[in-house]
A and B are shown apart, each in its own frame.
Chain A
Amino acid sequence: GAGVSQSPRYKVAKRGQDVALRCDPISGHVSLFWYQQALGQGPEFLTYFQNEAQLDKSGLPSDRFFAERPEGSVSTLKIQRTQQEDSAVYLCASSFNRADTIYFGEGSWLTVV
Chain B
Amino acid sequence: QQQVKQSPQSLIVQKGGISIINCAYENTAFDYFPWYQQFPGKGPALLIAIRPDVSEKKEGRFTISFNKSAKQFSLHIMDSQPGDSATYFCAPTSGSRLTFGEGTQLTVNP
Contacts and interface: CB of A to CB of B under 8 A. Distances in A.
| Interface of B (DSSP majority class) | loop
A45 B43 contact: no
A98 B43 contact: no
The residue in B42, B43, B102, B103 that gathers the most chain A C-beta atoms within 10 A of its C-beta is B43
Interface residues of B, number: 19
Contact of A42 (B43, B97, B100): B100
Interface residues of A, number: 24
Nearest to B101: A42
Interface of A: 4, 31, 33, 35, 40-45, 48, 56, 91, 93, 95, 98-99, 101-107
Interface of B: 1, 6, 41-46, 89, 91, 95-103
